[in-house]
């Protein structure tokens, strides 16, 4: 079968290009693109990819990704259809959600329902599934903290329930093995709705002031290195703010952000990432590790 023969086309007959689905605005055409409508559809999509021997990447909000341009040798399963975006109260303080729910929508629900414990996530874009997969967080809190359990679909399409204690979360990392998060349940605390909303507003306001949110980006590029100054500070001290490769530029506001200023290619972004790593290595002897996920078009040499 030719590579393009199994690309699922959008309703208008248009090929799916990941640059239209990622906040960084990079990314080419995957071999196969599926947007399952339900959890059963998700299982079917994974069974199909497994049968075809296609590697699978999962996309939530596409907000923490650098995807290469051109033909991509993998399938993308996009968890965002309405059937995977529900929110259900399961107890006085517990909420169960489909993995495709936007973080912002879940936070609005919590504020209205008077449920506290997740306010620190305010201003973090993307979906609940994506946030869990990368253990996203801010202000010392991470999405793994209030998690009670999750449901994972493995690559053969089997549904597996995992209590939070069975998931290994660490700084910006979640070890689940292979599979896709389909649902999650959070345990929160009762709190006055106005207080919850005010705390969220404070966090979101701080983020809007210190992060370059008006340009396409993928959030912080690097993890904060252990036992050292934060990545943003090291990069700033190297004088990298404003450094540009093609259409990609280190933000003038926060040195751990790269902004797509003018149709940057994935190669522009990757070259700039290497410039940043090299500057910090030379000046401070610190190896910066990427926080964003990279989906390469070529297998990466071990
Ligand atoms: N700093 C500079 N120059 C810069 C950027 C930062 O000197 O250009 C300094 C700041 O002044 C501050 C320190 O570095 O003293 C840390 O910066 P900041 O408070 O912005 O926090 P961060 O460590 O850069 C982390 C998360 C953010 C999250 C914030 C708030 C990582 C890699 N980043 O940023 O998350 O919003 O804390 O809690 O852990 C993301 O994950 O995409 C992200 C942006």
Catalytic residue flag (residue 172): yes
- Token representation of residue 50: 């497994």
Model pTM? 0.94
Residue burial 213-223, b: 16+ Cβ < 10 Å; e: rest: eeebbbbbbbb
Ligand 1, residue 123: give the atom nearest the CA. Answer: 36
Each residue's pLDDT, cut to its tens digit, for the chain (302 residues) gives 333 333 454 545 568 999 999 999 999 999 999 999 999 999 999 999 999 999 999 999 999 999 999 999 999 999 999 999 999 999 999 999 999 999 999 999 999 999 999 999 999 999 999 999 999 999 999 999 999 999 999 877 888 999 999 999 999 999 988 889 999 999 999 999 999 999 999 999 999 999 999 999 999 999 999 999 999 999 999 999 999 999 999 999 999 999 999 999 999 999 999 999 999 999 999 999 999 999 999 877 65
Instruction: Please give the class, per CATH, of domain 85-210.
Output: alpha beta
Place of tokens 């001290």: 237
Q: Where do runs of H (alpha helix) occur along 137-217?
A: 193-210
Span 18-82 CATH architecture: 2-Layer Sandwich (3.30)
Give yes or no for residue 289 CB within 6 A of ligand 1.
no
- Token representation of residue 46: 């994974």
Specify the residue with its C-alpha closest to ligand 1, atom 36: 138
Ligand 1, residue 255: give the atom nearest the CA. Answer: 8
Q: Which residue of the set 172, 185, 191, 238 is catalytic?
A: 172
Burial class (CB in 10 A: 0-12, 13-18, 19+), 13: exposed
Catalytic residue flag (residue 220): yes
Please give the Cα distance from 246 to 26 (Å, whole number). 13
Is it true that domain 231-295 has CATH number 3.40.50.11720?
A: no
Specify the residue with its C-alpha closest to ligand 1, atom 2: 233
Question: Domain locations in the chain?
Answer: 18-82, 85-210, 231-295
Ligand 1, residue 241: give the atom nearest the CA. Answer: 8
> Which whole-number Å values give the CA distances from 238 to 47, 81, 138, in the listed order?
48, 43, 24
């Amino acid at each position: 079968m030719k590579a393009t023969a199994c690309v699922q086309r959008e309703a208008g007959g248009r090929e799916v290009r990941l640059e239209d689905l990622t906040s960084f605005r990079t990314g080419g055409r995957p071999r196969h693109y599926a947007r399952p409508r339900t959890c059963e559809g998700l299982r079917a999509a994974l069974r199909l990819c497994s049968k075809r021997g296609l590697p699978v990447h999962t996309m939530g909000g596409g907000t923490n990704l650098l995807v290469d341009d051109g033909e991509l040798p993998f399938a993308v399963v996009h968890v965002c259809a309405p059937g995977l975006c529900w929110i259900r109260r399961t107890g006085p303080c517990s909420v169960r959600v489909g993995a495709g729910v936007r973080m912002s929508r879940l936070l609005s629900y919590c504020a209205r329902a008077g449920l506290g414990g997740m306010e620190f996530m305010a201003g973090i874009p993307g979906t609940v599934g994506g946030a869990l997969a990368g253990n996203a967080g801010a202000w010392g809190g991470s999405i793994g903290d209030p998690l009670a359990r999750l449901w994972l679909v493995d690559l053969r399409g089997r549904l597996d329930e995992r209590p939070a204690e069975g998931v290994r979360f660490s700084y910006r990392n979640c070890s689940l093995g292979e599979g896709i998060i389909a649902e999650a349940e959070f345990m929160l605390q009762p709190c006055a709705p106005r207080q919850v909303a005010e705390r969220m507003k404070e966090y979101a306001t701080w983020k809007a002031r210190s992060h370059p949110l008006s340009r396409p980006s993928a959030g912080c590029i690097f993890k904060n290195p252990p036992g050292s100054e934060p990545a943003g500070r090291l990069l700033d001290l190297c004088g990298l703010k404003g450094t540009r490769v093609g259409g990609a530029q280190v933000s003038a506001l926060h040195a751990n952000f790269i902004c797509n200023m003018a149709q940057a290619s994935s190669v522009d972004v990757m070259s700039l990432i290497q410039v940043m790593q090299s500057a910090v290595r030379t000046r401070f002897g610190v190896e910066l590790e990427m926080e964003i996920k990279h989906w390469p078009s070529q297998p990466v040499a071990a």
